[in-house]
Amino acid sequence: MLVGANLLRRLLRSQLSADDGGTGFIITAIYHLRPHCSTTTEFSDEGNSEKKKESKWFTLPPFAKTVNASELGAKLARKNHLKSATSAETSAYETTALKWVLKCCLELPRNLVQKLFRLRQVRRESIAMEVTDDGCQVQKIQLKRVGAKDSLNIGDKIFLPISVCEVPEEKHEHDCTDEESNFIRSLELYKDTAIIVLNKPPGMPVQGGIGIKWSLDELAAAWLRYDYSESPRLVHRLDRDCSGILVMGRTQMSAAILHSVFREETLGASKHDSDNEKRVLQKRYWALVIGSPRRPKGTISAPLRKVVVDDGKSDRITVFEHNNTILSSQHAITEYRVIKTSTHGFTWLELSPLTGRKHQVRVHCAEVLGTPIVGDYKYGWQAHRRLQNLAESDLRKNSNEKVAKENMLPFGLNMDSGSISEKHLRLHLHCREMILPNVSQVLRNPKSFTDDDLSKLKSLEIVAPLPSYMQKSWDILNS
């Protein structure tokens, strides 16, 4: 089936309710969401041959007022205090040609849309006055090239090559059983009109890739859409072996706003922010580590960089020592506090990453605190070698490492094995709590919220229970 027909059906079903953004800000009328094909017989395509004038175009709806997700996200993160009210109000209704095409054509791959702009195949309608042979002035519609970053005015129409209708529909193979689809829905911790929050199981990758059969983003798109025309979108990521809170936006708008909040909070993080301002986005991880930090609580500010190892076959993240040559993008800040210590040489930590670097929490624990996370063989393999003397200890006397079939979950997952009572340890890192802005409340009527209202907006507090094997380790160390 061609994208054209499928896209048209999708767009016709895309009438959003007022709860998803409010009339006047999110396009709700079916008319505004109905692209159509038209010939250019009444148009003049600048600088093109007669043959190109006869070509067909895929026409998008006229640009209408819409919320600027980046601007609203910055407001929610309270990072726009340097902007004037006038500039903020103006920018709230600006968008680029690229963003408008992506918003109207949810079925088109982003890389295809970007390629069309690079090849200068996207047009914008323009009206010019011409004088006829009898001296009369008439309006003539012209199609002029438009760049991806060009701003649009209210009423502007964008034209794409008709060839976009000939792109084969991307096939998604999700032949899940009822048990598997029910399992995906059982991961839900919270759902409203803007977001879905999942308790990600350990061992399930967040995104697809080479050698990955199942990923949460694809499964959520297949089974967590419900009655929405759009699929849930990732807002942030978790490592494959990490478990806990994963936030997904239910619409392009809500995902873009939360992307902006995450970006503003993590890129702008500094010790001053953490000490003197209440952060609207807070992430708290629980981790079981080997050993104990010298101080019961503190802030780690250690930049990270990626290094290539094994002759380029793999890479790892490590602390970067040369402070005089650090780039700002390499900064990584993590707050920590001790929850509970154990006589067996383990410690439970609460970790709050203020920045969002790859493997940040794992590297800070292993290389800065000197307490690698249990089950993290990548950054703590030496410490795990020393744990082998626990093989005959009281922790493992009654261990039964055989995984019972009745404990197996769909997609080959098992959350019961891997505790400290067993020889093969699993990563004991869990995103347990997250505080984030209530985006759904804002999107009900964005225009009615002033900056002062946004600062008083109530936050959502999400808590995810520990996976079974981490709960088992907790019980063992507290028995």
Q: Which residues are catalytic?
A: 239
> 3-class SS at 96?
strand
* Backbone phi, psi, residue 438, to 5°: -85, 85
The runs of H, that is alpha helices, within 250-341 are: 252-267, 271-276
Q: How far is CA 417 from CA 391, 392, 399, 414, 472, in A?
A: 16, 18, 10, 7, 9
CA distances, 279 to each of 28, 32, 47, 83, 247 (Å)? 33, 38, 53, 19, 17
Contact call for residues 76 and 66 (beta carbons, < 8 A) = no
Quote the CA–CA distance of 214 and 208 in Å, as a whole number: 7
If DSSP codes are grouped into helix, strand and coil, which group holds residue 400? Answer: coil
* Strand runs labelled E in 207-345: 233-234, 243-249, 282-290, 297-301, 304-309, 314-319, 333-341
C-alpha–C-alpha distance, residues 200 and 456, integer Å: 30
Separation CA 177–CA 39 (nearest Å): 46
As a whole number of angstroms, the distance between CA 146 and CA 225 comes to: 33
Look-up of token digits 């969002």 = 356
Among residues 247, 225, 217, 252, which one has the least CA distance to residue 235?
Answer: 247
